[in-house]
Amino acid sequence: MSLLILGGTGTLGRQIVLQALTKGYKVRCLVRNFRKASFLKEWGVELVYGDLAKPETIPPCLKGITAIIDASTSRPDELDSLKKVDWDGKLYLIQAAKAAKIKRFIFFSAQNAEQFDNIPLMKLKSGIEKKLKESQLPYTIFRLTGFYQGLIEQYAIPILENLPFWVTNEILIFHTWILKILRNFVYVHYKFLKQLIKHSF
């Protein structure tokens, strides 16, 4: 069985790639940047160029593929392309998957996405879930909560630097609490390091 994985350079995607390779699957990854994805090639993955924002790049990536695992999403620092990637691109991917007679389409959505219509990414996730269900493709949808691997990169840095990030209200309260702890931790260690440097010279 040959898998096409989208989002292989991402937090979840790279773990899926590792698991798939360990289990002996033939893995191809659709990537936007070969240099950034070079670690996947070293693991034994076939890299193909593709970009969800450029639909014409998608069909050639599907040749000889049995199942698609789509763990991609637009990066928070590329919010301008949110609709292009998480809506237009995914709709096109579903169409292309049908045309290529893909045997299973695995999609990663977010928990209770339909309850957060006010959050653009959640609205798109919920919409894609519907389109996938209507597509007549065999599908699996995972509805995930937030990943703690991304605590620093996805939440702490954007919050500290006033950059955009995705969050629902309940999680925000929890993350703000964790961030306070992190901030104190960094501050205490920063003071300690400063003292250490002062006394070393």
Ligand X SMILES: NC(=O)c1ccc[n+]([C@@H]2O[C@H](COP(=O)([O-])OP(=O)(O)OC[C@H]3O[C@@H](n4cnc5c(N)ncnc54)[C@H](OP(=O)(O)O)[C@@H]3O)[C@@H](O)[C@H]2O)c1
Q: How far apart are CA 77 and CA 87, in angstroms?
A: 17
Instruction: Provide the minimum distance between the beta carbon of 194 and ligand X in the complex, in angstroms, as a whole number.
Output: 34
Total residues at interface with ligand X (CB under 6 A) = 26
Binding window for ligand X (CB under 6 A); candidates: 38-46, 66-74, 91-99, 180-188? 66-74
When asked if residue 72 is in the footprint of ligand X (CB under 6 A), the reply is yes
Instruction: Provide the minimum distance between the beta carbon of 135 and ligand X in the complex, in angstroms, as a whole number.
Output: 17
When asked if residue 126 is in the footprint of ligand X (CB under 6 A), the reply is no
What mask of x and - would describe binding to ligand X in positions 9 to 48, judged by CB under 6 A? xxxxx------------------xx--x------------
| Sites for ligand X among residues 135-164 (CB under 6 A) | 144, 146-147, 150
- The residue sitting closest to ligand X, measured at its beta carbon, is 10
When asked if residue 52 is in the footprint of ligand X (CB under 6 A), the reply is yes
Q: How far apart are CA 201 and CA 99, in angstroms?
A: 69
Q: Is 128 exposed, middle or buried (0-12, 13-18, 19+ CB in 10 A)?
A: buried
Give CA 16 to chain center in angstroms. 11
Instruction: Provide the minimum distance between the beta carbon of 77 and ligand X in the complex, in angstroms, as a whole number.
Output: 9
The phi, psi pair for 46, rounded to 5°, reads -85, 125
Instruction: Provide the minimum distance between the beta carbon of 55 and ligand X in the complex, in angstroms, as a whole number.
Output: 10
Q: How far apart are CA 52 and CA 30, in angstroms?
A: 9
Say which DSSP state 37 is in: T
Number of residues written out for the chain? 201
Q: How far apart are CA 73 and CA 85, in angstroms?
A: 7
- Which of 20, 68, 85, 137 forms a contact with ligand X (CB under 6 A)? 85
The phi, psi pair for 29, rounded to 5°, reads -115, 130
Instruction: Provide the minimum distance between the beta carbon of 147 and ligand X in the complex, in angstroms, as a whole number.
Output: 4
Instruction: Provide the minimum distance between the beta carbon of 33 and ligand X in the complex, in angstroms, as a whole number.
Output: 5
Please list the residues that pair with 107 across neighbouring strands: 70, 141
Binding window for ligand X (CB under 6 A); candidates: 49-57, 58-66, 91-99, 178-186? 49-57
Residues contacting 167, CB < 8 A, separation 6+: 146, 155, 175
What does the angle CA 125 – CA 128 – CA 129 come to, to the nearest 5 degrees?
85
Binding site for ligand X (CB under 6 A): 6-13, 32-33, 36, 51-53, 71-75, 85, 108, 110, 144, 146-147, 150
